[in-house]
Structure 1
Amino acid sequence: MEQSPENLFSQIAQDNLVLNVFKHHSFRVMYLSTMLAKEVECYDEDMRISALLHDIGKMGLSSEILLKPSRLTDLEMTIVESHSHIGNTIVRKVLGKTRPAKFVRDHHENWDGTGYPRRLEGEEISLQGRIIRICDSFDTMTYDRRVYHKNNLSHQEAIHELRRCKWKQYDGDLVETFISLIEKNNLPEDWYDQYNKEALEEM
């Protein structure tokens, strides 16, 4: 029986806490990435899969590290950063999908070459990886900062942060396109709670 991207979550989750935290984050990132990818005309099934599974490499990591309230040690940070490579391997070997595996691998690369795992720079980073990078950051800043024991930012505060870091962490053109979509669609602060979560999971 062919493995589905959705079933991978529960199959390899280290525990229910990790599953609950990162599964819903992943669905939100998939929704935002789908919106942005359609706007720049690069949406397809590989884009959806990679956005959904961008953090699949974290599912097998210890919740003590992933949800640690204090600063990570250098070793712990190295372990967490390995999730891009682990996710790439899972998507490529378990699902047999090499193209979305590349996008998963790229989603923590920075425009200025300071990201990981390969320190790619600018357009060396896949367009899909750059899209996920922005949407992942926006969701983390506005919705999931409680995971890192920080206060959530408002949408406007997150927009300011995206603009502050464009052409450093992010593709600046994609940042402006993403911001225009958020503002045009008047995305509410509690947008995920207002949407039918089951419907998002079926996208």
Structure 2
Amino acid sequence: MIKIERLHASLLEVLGSKIVSSKIALGEVTIEVGAADYKSAMQVLRDHELLRFQQLIDLCGIDYYSYGNLPRESGRFAVVSHLLSVDYNWRVRVRVHATDDELPTVASVVDIWSSANWFEREAFDLFGIVFDGHDDLRRILTDYGFIGHPFRKDFPLSGYVEMRYDPEQKRVVYQPVTIEPREIVPRIIREDAYGQGR
């Protein structure tokens, strides 16, 4: 049994019914767990002697709105985490879908891996995913007065407001977006003998 298959078998054995789906693709193992089991599954992934995923490498939000123009089987918003086991030198990707599209909520894993702190804040800021149990869930990349979540696929391309520094008022001011929507058509210039050897 090769290493990745051994990891996959260990995950299935240890997590059992908490795994909604699992697959090996492109040399990586991806498991999906239900929102109700997410926090406990992540605790097991860190602590179980067969797994020992000591490090959370990345955590991000995903918006599956009109994903591939296919009907969705799960919720619109998901959180994906990448974990690393230093002891066994293997990785796993964990996905969990939020159950409510209007107020997507997933349990926070900050108390399991402190590195999740800023990752969860980023997913909240950009996608509007709320992490239940996070004690400092506030915007991290956009301004505190920013309206909406810019990585949502239904967020307008130009946004709602823009900010600029006003030298007369000597402060940053907000105003409605002034960018005129326009269509950019690339201009192609070719020589008469383009593609023919000289």
Shorter-chain TM-score tier: under 0.3
Higher alpha-carbon Rg: 2
Determine which structure has the larger helix proportion and give its number: 1
Q: TM-score, normalised by structure 1?
A: 0.27
Structure with bigger RCO (C-alpha 8 Å, 6+ apart): 1
Determine which structure has the larger strand proportion and give its number: 2
